[in-house]
Homo-oligomer: A and B are copies of this chain.
Amino acid sequence: MIDDFKKNKNLYEKSLIAVDPIIFTISDKKLKIFLKKREKDPFKGKYELPGGLLLHDETAEQTMERKLKELLGDFKIFFMQFQSFTKPNRDPRERIISIGFMALVNEESIEIKDSWFDVEKLPDLAFDHKEIITLAKNHLCQHLNLMVAKQFLPEYFPLNKLQEVHEVVGKRKYDNRNFRKKMIQSGCVEETDQIQKGCSHRPSKLYKFKAEVHEISCK
């Protein structure tokens, strides 16, 4: 391929490479994403994904880690690639290829509480970011499984919170008795001796994921 490039440098063009993180969390029973407001043209005043360019010696995954640390702080965050975006004029200034990643964070680990937008009520977006977010939402919804749900929860959680995650991401309701039965039977979660505190109703038992939960799917 490089040989093609050497033969005819006019045809091919080197391009900047960026990652665009779609950072999801669940808060207030809604799926939300992190956006920032643009302070410069083009698209001044609109919102954008908090993307970043790859450094010369970085993989896209390393760029994601660097950006996430910068945005949310230094703790481990789960993320996965879902699609790359290559329209030549997606940035009006200069060609940039963007690799889309979705990242999943537990609400409780978030310090900055603003900047989060309900995916059903997004503001005006810069570049092709609306399209990117739509695809990320579909990808998340289609890849909902226990590994994904786990990312939205703290280590110890009530089963009803796990159900809530499934309901919000999967955009559907589950029967509470059936959901609990299925989760317990699946062997992926286990009861602990911890109890929920500080709630003005019957406190729930807390569960945790068994260590071996990795890729178990859950419709």
The stretch among A25-33, A47-55, A202-210 that forms the contact with chain B is A47-55
A96 contacts B2, C-beta separation under 8 Å? yes
Q: Closest CB of chain B to A189's CB: distance in Å?
A: 24
C-alpha spacing A114/B83, complex, angstroms: 32
Q: Does A211 contact B (CB under 8 A)?
A: no
B88 contacts A12, C-beta separation under 8 Å? no
A52 contacts B4, C-beta separation under 8 Å? yes
Q: In the complex, which residue of chain B has the Cβ closest to the Cβ of A93? A: B2
C-alpha spacing A14/B40, complex, angstroms: 23
A56 contacts B12, C-beta separation under 8 Å? yes
Q: Does A176 contact B (CB under 8 A)?
A: no
Count class of interface residues, chain A? 35 or more
Q: Does A5 contact B (CB under 8 A)?
A: yes
A59 contacts B40, C-beta separation under 8 Å? no
C-alpha spacing A55/B81, complex, angstroms: 24
B96 contacts A97, C-beta separation under 8 Å? no
Residues on B with C-beta less than 8 A from A81 are 83-84
Q: Does A153 contact B (CB under 8 A)?
A: no
Q: Does A162 contact B (CB under 8 A)?
A: no
